[in-house]
A = this chain, B = another copy of it.
Amino acid sequence: MNAQAALTSAEERETILETLVIQAELGQDELVRAGLATLHPADVAELLNVVEEPEIKQKVFSFLDPDLASEVLSLVSSLSRAELTQELSNAALGDLVERLDSDDAADLLGSLSEEQARAVLDQVPEQLSAEMEQLLRYPADTAGGIMQTEHVPVPEGTRVEQAIEMVRSHSEKVPDIHNVFVTDHEQRLVGVLPLRKLILARPGESVDKVMDRQVISARVDLAQEQVAQIFKLYDVVSIPVVDADGKLLGRITVDDVVDVLEEEATEDIYTIAGVQRSGTERINLVSDPVLKRVRLRFSWILITLTFELFVALVISKLFVATIEKLAILTAFIPVIIAIAGNVGLQSSTLVVRSIALGTISMSRTARIIFSETRTGFSLGLICGSITSTVGFLMNMKNPEVFQLAFSVFVGMVSALTAAATIGTVEPLVLHKLKQDPAVSSGPLITAVNDLMGTTMYLLVATYLQR
């Protein structure tokens, strides 16, 4: 395949993959084998993600030679990985663990039951087994959880030509070498040497002379979001990972960070939209059964429902008489709560995203809250004027039309002011309390706004009826 041509046309690539999926499903194995041979490992992974039946997936996977298979396995989705490995023997899994990069091997082991992981580790050389057990001990969402142990360590004082020789000897085991890491006699990191500098240095020179001493590194227990921030901020392609004493443990490469950033963005989006609670399993839109979708989504809905039933209680206990006297009031409840919901969600989303991108500093919170409150008030004046004018024109024959129009106006202004303020304050407070600020958005804000908006609106109407 001409990778270049296929890649520049996303449609063409999609067509090729869909053709292969159909051929695989029809059992045209020879065509599939021939097609696979022309694909980049990443495209094979994509193909396996799209194939739906686990058996066909496993069959296509079995066509790959062992080295390609392990590379593909590190590229497929976690769902596909689970389906591809569930039928493999412990010996085959052990073989994969040996071939995979250490971070992918640890991910694979981590997806197995503890029992099976132990059985698989019995199949691999003792040193690798010990290394894996160590890696598995780091929490998945920390630098330790995403790092790989493969790297090129070079002792202080090594000459450049020796260092190049070390790169050569590691180049089989260590993928994508961009830097070598220089360590002292206690394995503590003292410098970093990009290949670009290594290539340009004189062969006899000591690496100490040419290495960068201002090293950007991550402690093994640093949260993965903060690791991603480091990559973004300092535009680096790989960073060393060290323990509390500064000892070199491994490295993190930018491609893993790209995944972290996408993961974090997805989590924020799902939390803002109240799709499912963070930390729970992801919903797969294509393959998950209805029951699982319902279960994962209901946990958020239940919170909204509880709040909203409280809104219903307030209306039924306090405002039924008001509505009996002027039923047209009901027509504007959806308007007020929808716009308040909209404004509150805008404020909270702006705050949540700014926190995630690191573009607001916490010393400015008072100013941010004040600006947002005034924005909500201004939007309230505009939307309140429009809505009460429309309400007035729609009900000109109703003797109570002034009562309606005034209640709508005051209800809208107070609901939108409150919505913007609460929408801004909630995520800021959660962030101060070291909670996920995204949790406050969507459903929670909506429920609080509905209560505020409805109550203010009907309170004014009730007062005017006296």
Contacts and interface: CB of A to CB of B under 8 A. Distances in A.
Interface of A: 3-4, 7-8, 10, 14, 18, 40, 42-43, 46, 49-50, 52, 75, 77, 164, 167-168, 171, 176-178, 189, 195-196, 198-200, 214-219, 222, 226, 229-237, 242, 246, 254-255, 257-259, 261-262, 265-266, 268-270, 272-276, 283-286, 288-291, 293-294, 297-298, 300-301, 304-305, 308-309, 311-313, 315-316, 319-321, 323-324, 327-335, 337-339, 341-343, 345-346, 349-351, 353-354, 357-361, 363-364, 367-368, 371-372, 374-375, 378-379, 382-383, 386-387, 390-391, 394-395, 441-443, 446-447, 450, 454
A391 B312 contact: yes
B305 A357 contact: no
A316 B371 contact: no
A379 B297 contact: yes
Nearest to A275: B346
A8 B275 contact: no
29 contacts: A3-B215, A4-B189, A4-B217, A7-B230, A8-B219, A43-B233, A52-B364, A164-B200, A168-B200, A171-B200, A257-B258, A265-B269, A266-B353, A269-B353, A273-B346, A273-B349, A276-B346, A285-B359, A285-B360, A294-B375, A297-B343, A297-B379, A311-B335, A312-B387, A312-B390, A312-B391, A316-B394, A327-B327, A341-B341
A309 B3 contact: no
A146 to B, nearest CB: 14
A323 B327 contact: yes
B361 A283 contact: no
A234 B331 contact: no
Contacts of A333: 330, 333-334
Given A269-B272, A273-B441, A360-B285, A386 B342 contact: no
Contacts of A7: 216-218, 230
